[in-house]
Structure 1
Amino acid sequence: MPGRSVPVNPKLAAVRAVEIGEGVFKYILCKIYEGSNTEDNKFIVRGDVGAEFHSDVYDKLDSQLEGEGINCECVGGGKIQHESDKKSIRVYGKSQGYGKADHVLAAKLIKEAFPEYGSVTWSDD
């Protein structure tokens, strides 16, 4: 999926690329942009330990960004296993409602956000 790593729009640049919890939880991969300008976009990862469904993660994110005038489009989901004590993150699975996220892109964004981690892996299982 194309997407700039550094958007031109300062509003988009200010949104953290990755916000995840600890343990095993559902995550979503989203494309964000302002107004109808989908060309200037950024991909972000959000995961929530307390979310029962992927849509719960999306609804929370969408309501946060909406107040800032930023549109959010979920492009897939999955699960994350995050073990901070082992400095390990695994990205896998899929969302029933949103389909499988691009785990390669999600893992890349996570690795950039957690450069001190020795293991950020992904799989399609």
Structure 2
Amino acid sequence: MAASHMASSTSHKNPKLIAIPDVEIDKHGKFKYILVKVHDPDVDREFKHIVRGTAKAAFHADIYDRVSELIEEKGLDCEILGGGRIDHEPSKKSIKIYGYSQQFGQADHTITHSILLRAFKEYDQITWSNEGY
């Protein structure tokens, strides 16, 4: 999926999708992350991608379990598209996206990269690589 397909063309009009933050990651450190597709089951083909990551999770599934619960409480559905790792260094205004999830496979880091570029506009360096674990 191309990075230009981070959301459906009408998702910006759906109040339920708008209410879901695009990014929720730890303020600093190295941690696991997941890329999730959120969609409204009542509106065909409306979706957006979100990024979630935390060092508190032992496994990528731990992040997804929490995210899916919150999403479903809002009347939306979601599916995990894969995972990886993030190295977030706010003092250097730097984020590195890399690796994969053993359980869910590798997220499309180009989509994650595009989402983080929008969320961290003041950062000097946001990069991605398919290397590493």
TM-score, normalised relative to structure 2: 0.89
> Structure 1: which 5+ residue stretches go unaligned?
none
In 2, distance between residues paired with 1:39 and 1:11?
A: 14
In 1, distance between residues paired with 2:44 and 2:108?
A: 18
Where 2:127 maps in the other structure, the secondary structure is strand
In 2, distance between residues paired with 1:54 and 1:45?
A: 12
- Asked if residue 41 in structure 1 is aligned to residue 47 in structure 2, the reply is yes
- Asked if residue 91 in structure 1 is aligned to residue 97 in structure 2, the reply is yes
> Structure 2: which 5+ residue stretches go unaligned?
none
CA contact (8 A) 1:87 1:117 kept: yes
TM-score, normalised relative to structure 1: 0.94
Shift of 1:36: 5.7
Q: 1:111 to 1:6 in 2, by over 3 A?
A: farther
| Partner of residue 60 from structure 1, selected from 66, 69, 77 | 66
In proportion to residue count, which structure has more strand?
1
Where 1:27 maps in the other structure, the secondary structure is strand
2:24 is aligned to 19
- Segments of 4+ in structure 1 off by > 3 A? none
| Partner of residue 100 from structure 1, selected from 106, 112, 115 | 106
- Whichever residue aligns with residue 11 of structure 1, its letter is K
CA contact (8 A) 2:88 2:95 kept: yes
In 1, distance between residues paired with 2:110 and 2:57?
A: 23
In 2, distance between residues paired with 1:14 and 1:80?
A: 24
In 1, distance between residues paired with 2:72 and 2:119?
A: 24
